Amino acid sequence: MTTTRRTVLGALLAGAAALAGQVLPESGKPPTGTRLRPPGALPEDEFTSRCIRCFKCGEVCENGCIEFAGLDDGLARAFTPYIRPRSQGCTTCMKCGEVCPTGAIQLIEPDEESVLANVKMGVARLNKDMCYSYAKPAPRTCGVCYRACPFPGKAMTIGLYEQPTVHYDQCIGCGLCEQSCVHLPQAIRVIPVSS
C-alpha cells in the first residue's frame, strides 16, 4: 500500500489535534454528541484515546460508510471515524478492525455468529407514529427496513402489513435499516450505544 502526501498530512494534522485535545481544554461549544462508531470500536473514552487518526479504517471500508469527525466535535474527537447511517450503513465487512494499528477498533471475524456476539454499535429505534406499516387509520405494507437488515428474523421481525419489530438484544446498530427507510424524516433511527 502506498502512502500519499494527503494521508501523511492528514495524519500529522489529526495527531496535532489529538495532542491538543489532551493538553488544551475543550472550547466552550459542547461536542455534537456521541457518534456511531465502526463495528468493534472500544467504549468511547478508550476509543478516542487509542485512535491515532490514521484514516486507515476509512480507506479500507468496502461500503464507504466511514466518515471522520471535524473540529466541531471538539479536539478530543476530531478526525475520529464514525458512521452516519442515513448516508450509508455498515455492512460489517470487519475490514476496519483488520487495519486498525492500535486496537481502537477490535478485530472481529466477519461471520454472523461472531458479529452478533461481539458488535454493538448502537440500536435501532422505531417511531411507530411515522412508520408506514403502522399508519392509522390505514397501514400500508412497506418492510423496506426488514429487507435491509443483515439479521432478519433475529435483529428484526415483521408482522401484519410488514410491521417491523426490533429485537434490541440482537440488533447491532449497523444502520442499514435507517439508510433504507423511505419515510422522510426516517421512521427508524440508530442510536449509538454510548448515548
- 174 touches 94 (CB < 8 A): no
Break the chain into its structural domains and give their ranges.
5-113, 120-192
pLDDT at 30 over 60: no
Q: How confident is residue 138, by pLDDT bands cut at 50, 70 and 90?
A: confident
Q: Which long-range contacts (CB under 8 A, 24 or more apart) does 98-101 make?
A: 98/60, 99/56, 99/57, 99/59, 99/60, 100/56, 100/57, 101/52, 101/54, 101/56
Q: How confident is residue 34, by pLDDT bands cut at 50, 70 and 90?
A: confident
How many residues are given for the chain? 195
pLDDT, one tens digit per residue, over 140-161 is 999 999 999 999 999 999 999 9
pLDDT at 136 over 60: yes
Q: Given 2.40.33.20, 3.30.70.20, 2.60.40.1840, 1.20.1250.20, which CATH number is that of 120-192?
A: 3.30.70.20
pLDDT at 32 over 70: no
Does residue 59 or residue 32 have the better pLDDT?
59
- State the sign of the Cα–Cα–Cα–Cα dihedral 79, 98, 48, 66: positive
Classify 37 as helix, strand or coil: coil
Query: What are the residue ranges of helices labelled H in the chain?
Result: 5-23, 44-50, 56-60, 95-99, 112-118, 144-148, 176-180
Does residue 20 or residue 11 have the better pLDDT?
11
Give CA–CA dist 10/155, Å, rounded: 37
> How much of the chain exceeds pLDDT 90, in percent?
77
